[in-house]
């Protein structure tokens, strides 16, 4: 397998991972909407013994959401570092590392650095 083919495979794998993450986030959004609706219908001030208990339940929900967001952030940072490594090695070789394939898309990575 050539180096260019390996780079294309890496980019394809990263794109598939991002699609899977999007599907997981969509499922989480549906689940969060159901939990929100349930909480709105079942949590009332008279359902709790004290104000502290009333605050404890929503804080548990929020802690779970924060853990999901932290996990996604760590995963996305890992993907980002992998893509940065790929792009850095891509820029290091003369033709852009992809046999001049970058020219097909207008040259460069197209992230707006050239316009600044």
Q: What is the pLDDT of residues 17-75, one digit of tens each?
A: 889 989 988 998 899 899 889 888 887 778 778 888 888 877 888 898 899 889 889 98
Taking the CB of residue 87, how many other CB atoms lie within 10 A of it? Answer: 18
Domain ranges of the chain: 3-85
Q: How confident is the model at residue 115 (pLDDT cuts 50, 70, 90)?
A: very low
Integer Cα distance of 24 and 29 in angstroms: 9
Q: Supply the pLDDT for residue 91.
A: 65
Q: How confident is the model at residue 14 (pLDDT cuts 50, 70, 90)?
A: confident
Q: Supply the pLDDT for residue 34.
A: 93
Q: How confident is the model at residue 90 (pLDDT cuts 50, 70, 90)?
A: low
Q: How far is CA 60 from the centre of its chain?
A: 23
CA angle 23, 24, 25 (to 5 degrees): 90
- For the full predicted model, state whether its pTM sits above 0.85: no
Q: Supply the pLDDT for residue 72.
A: 86
């Amino acid at each position: 397998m050539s180096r260019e083919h390996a780079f294309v495979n890496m980019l394809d794998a990263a794109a598939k991972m991002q699609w899977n993450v999007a599907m997981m986030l969509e499922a989480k959004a549906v689940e969060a909407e159901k939990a929100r609706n349930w909480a709105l219908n079942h949590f009332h001030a008279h359902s709790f013994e004290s104000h502290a208990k009333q605050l404890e339940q929503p804080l548990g929900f929020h802690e779970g959401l924060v853990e999901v967001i932290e996990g996604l952030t760590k995963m996305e940072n890992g993907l980002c570092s992998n893509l940065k490594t790929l792009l850095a090695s891509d820029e290091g070789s003369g033709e852009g590392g992809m046999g001049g394939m970058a020219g097909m898309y207008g040259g460069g990575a197209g992230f707006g650095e050239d316009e600044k």
